[in-house]
Structures are given as structure tokens and as C-alpha cells.
Amino acid sequence: MLTQVEQAVKGTISPQMEAVAKAEDHSPEYIRDMVAAGKIVIPYNTNSKPRAVGIGKGLRTKVNASIGTSSDIIDYEAEVRKAKIAQEAGTDTLMELSVGGNLDKVRREVIGAVDVPVGNVPLYQAFCDAAKKRGSADKLDPEELFDLIEKQCDDGLAFMAVHCGINRYTIERLRKQNYRYGGLVSKGGTTMVSWMEKNNKENPLYEHFDRVIGILKKYDVCLSLGNGLRAGAIHDSHDRAQMQELIINCELAQLGREMGCQMLVEGPGHMPLDEVEANILIQKRMSNEAPYYMLGPISTDVVPGFDHISSAIGSAQSARYGADLICYITPAEHLALPNEDDVRMGVHAARVATYIGDMNKYPEKGRERDKQMSKARRDLEWDKQFELALIPEEARAIRDSRVPEDEKTCTMCGEFCAANGSTKIFKEDLAGDKL
């Protein structure tokens, strides 16, 4: 069976391309051509057949939510609930990142509970299994890693974050710059670096990249090139180790696409706002505009409990300058495993951020909704306001919790409502589309 890329290169428009074209108001031919060029991906799996979600050039910036057990909290039912809440809140994709308990069980239950594309990081289970079997993650057998990737693809994952860009040269860059302020923050990246150092071997995912591609192609799974050396502090942003991994990932993105596999490139991490535009420009130039999956970025290091806001600010900038998929951050970031409320809040914050970014990325078509909302507010048309609201259920709940005496106004201003008063004054002066 041909992958989305292989079909597009042959000139075929798949049902998934048709669905994305309809959802994004593009022609099917445009989607096909961008998939063929590696500038759009549609995470998929021939076993699970998730809904078609397009990520890439000319499309709405998408949101990813991450869930999963930890070694401290193992509650399979809670993770399934979080998966469903994330989908209900409007996430476009989901990553199942469990590291505690029966990892096969939680992965399969989450995939079965939602219809959005589900991804994961196979290194998590590989190192967990090695630690259980042999007492140390550093005793991982690479053959078991490739077998695990195959098993997880067979379960129905639509995309995989695989840390192929870490190699011996990348680690050398890390050593020569005298480590970092924030250290290493990727679980998969850190355990792979440890394995390489303890075994004095090259990363098997880099060394045998063709095997990774071969497995994912069998299921039409999208490869997300993980950034295991991403910055975990704004003062580490764009250091040599991170940039070296980005260079390698951009090279691998081109190679993988030429081999017929859909490819995403992952980005940082923690990053100050004045570096966002340059980061995306560099990735797009080096990868020939491969879709860019940004983890955050968190734009300051000093707001634990409010990292979802810090991230939303960075995400809006990222979407504006060309990022294609944003991984949400929750209020629990750096503090605890997210609960159900955290997941909902994280998805909502990321959706607000990407909407703001897209307004500026696509100004010719991205601001009409805002104009209509302004008119509805001016005219105190509450049902119209809720219809236009990005997250209407939250808006309705707030208004319903504080009912005004005059239902036309709200309890913020009551009888002193500026919109109500000014419309009476200027109604005769309004003309055309301002009515």
C-alpha cells in the first residue's frame, strides 16, 4: 500500500487529502502537491484510520495535547478521560506519553477512545522495558527497540516522535559548550544520551534511520523527528547542541520524504520571544519547508503555575511566523502530572494562541470572524457572540453565572453599558456593512 507521500508523488489524491482540502478550504490538488513536496503531512495509520488532519503550509495551525501515566500516578481510566476531554476541548492531535504501568494497555485504550491522530515516543517504553528486564535502561537491546516501534505502529499510532537527530557529534557539541543552565529536559533524549555514553555506541535510530522509515511506511505513519536536546531554559535557546540536532533533523526530514515517509520536524522548548521568528526561518530554510512542530515554546522560566500562559504567548508568535503544529502546555508544567482540568485549560490556551497567530499569518482571511464578533458586541447580540466565540461553552458559563438585571447588558456595566448607549447616539450615522 502506498503512503500519502507516495500517492501524492504519483499524482493521486487520497481520501485523506480530499478531507483536508474540504476542511481547510483549499483545492485537493493543492493539498496533493504540498504532500508530495513534503510541506504538508496528514498523520495516519492504515490500521486505526484516524480522522484526516492536515499539518503544514497554508493550513490552520494545529494543536496537540499530551497525556500519559507517570511512575507516581498510574490511572488508566483517568488517562482515557483526559484523552476524551482533550478531543472535546478541540485538540487536533494527541500524544500518549505514558511511562508508568502497563504501557501497551494505556496506549491501546487511548487510541480506541478518540478519533484524532494519536502519537507517542517509542523510546519511553523501550527504556522502561529494559529497566524492568535488565535493571537498567542503559542495557536496552536496539533490536527490541525496532520490534517495539513495529508493535506500536501495528496498534494504530498515526505519528511517532523518534529521536533520530542525536548522534555522537551532537553530544560532543554539548560537552564543548560546558553543558547548560537548564540541563537536558527530554526524557527520551536524556535516556538515549545515557545509553550512548554507557555503551560507547552511536544512536541506533540515527545509524539505522532507513529501518525506522521502513517500519513507519508500512503503516503510513508520520515520523516526527524529536528534539531530544531542546532547550529547557531560555538561556540555552539556540545553543550549539540544539542547533546541531536541528540541522541533522532537517537533513533527515528530506531523506525520509524522499524514501516515501511523511516527516515532521520538532522544535524547542524554551525560547525568548525575540528568537522565535529566526528559529522558524532557519528550520523552514534548512528543511525545505517541512512542517514544524513546536513544543510550546515557553517564553519565560519564572512562572510555574502559569506556564500555559507563557507558552500561549510564545505559541501565538510561533504560529504567526510559520509553525504548523503547537504542543500545548498546561498549568501543571514543571510541577505535577496534569489532571483533567489542566488538560482542558491547556488545550483552550493553545487554541487561543494559534488562532491569534493565524490571524496574523493569514490576515487576508483570518480576521473576518473578529469583525463579525465586534458588530455582535456593539449590537448586544449575545447568541451571535456565542456562535462566533472560539470556546463558546466557557463564555456561556461565565455569563450564566452572573445574570444581569437587564438581559440585554452584562453585569460588568449594567445600566451604564457603553455599547447600548453609544449605539443609540450613532445609529443613524451607521452605513453599509457597519449596520
Mean pLDDT score of the chain: 95
The DSSP annotation for 349-374 comes to: HHHHHHHHHHHHHSTTTSSHHHHHHH
* Cβ-proximal residues to 370 (8 Å cutoff; 6+ apart), any chain: 359
Q: 11-55, pLDDT tens digit by residue? A: 999 999 999 999 999 999 999 999 999 999 999 999 999 999 999
Q: How far is CA 431 from CA 289, 385, 428, in A?
A: 44, 21, 8
> Which grid coordinates are listed for 236?
540555552
* Cβ-proximal residues to 423 (8 Å cutoff; 6+ apart), any chain: 378, 379, 380
SS3 156: coil
Share of the chain above pLDDT 70, in %: 98
**What was the pLDDT predicted at 428?**
66
Q: 172-214, pLDDT tens digit by residue? A: 999 999 889 999 999 999 999 999 999 999 999 999 999 999 9
Q: Name the pLDDT band for 420 (thresholds 50, 70, 90).
A: confident
Q: 231-283, pLDDT tens digit by residue? A: 999 999 999 999 999 999 999 999 999 999 999 999 989 999 999 999 999 99
What is the Cα–Cα distance from 212 to 204, expressed in whole angstroms? Answer: 10
Residue labelled with grid coordinates 560537552: 175
311 burial (CB, 10 Å; 0-12 / 13-18 / 19+) is buried
What is the Cα–Cα distance from 121 to 328, expressed in whole angstroms? Answer: 16
**What was the pLDDT predicted at 434?**
55
- Start-to-end CA distance of the chain, whole Å, equals 55
**What was the pLDDT predicted at 115?**
97
φ, ψ for residue 230, nearest 5 deg: -65, 155
431 burial (CB, 10 Å; 0-12 / 13-18 / 19+) is exposed
SS3 224: strand
Contact 63, 351 (CB under 8 A): yes
- What is the domain partition of the chain in residue ranges? 4-361, 368-434
Q: Which of 53-62, 350-359, 421-430 shows the lowest mean pLDDT across its residues? A: 421-430
What is the Cα–Cα distance from 414 to 401, expressed in whole angstroms? Answer: 15
**What was the pLDDT predicted at 84?**
98
Where are any strands of DSSP class E within 23-82?
40-41, 55-56, 62-67
CB atoms within 10 A of CB 260: 18
Q: Which helix (H) or strand (E) holds 123?
A: helix 122-134
pTM of the shown model: 0.95
Contact 391, 348 (CB under 8 A): yes
365 burial (CB, 10 Å; 0-12 / 13-18 / 19+) is exposed
Q: Which residues pair with 62 in a beta bridge?
A: 325
Helix axis angle, 122-134 to 142-155, nearest 10°: 130
What is the Cα–Cα distance from 387 to 151, expressed in whole angstroms? Answer: 43
Nearest alpha carbon to residue 17 among 5, 28, 6:
28
**What was the pLDDT predicted at 360?**
92
415 burial (CB, 10 Å; 0-12 / 13-18 / 19+) is exposed
> Is CATH 3.10.290.10 what the domain over 4-361 is classified as, yes or no?
no
> Which grid coordinates are listed for 425?
447616539
**What was the pLDDT predicted at 435?**
55
Residue labelled with grid coordinates 488562532: 355
110-133 average pLDDT score: 97
What is the Cα–Cα distance from 266 to 206, expressed in whole angstroms? Answer: 16
What is the Cα–Cα distance from 168 to 201, expressed in whole angstroms? Answer: 8
Where are any strands of DSSP class E within 78-190?
93-96, 118-120, 159-162
Q: 266-275, pLDDT tens digit by residue? A: 998 999 999 9
**What was the pLDDT predicted at 365?**
80
Q: Name the pLDDT band for 430 (thresholds 50, 70, 90).
A: low
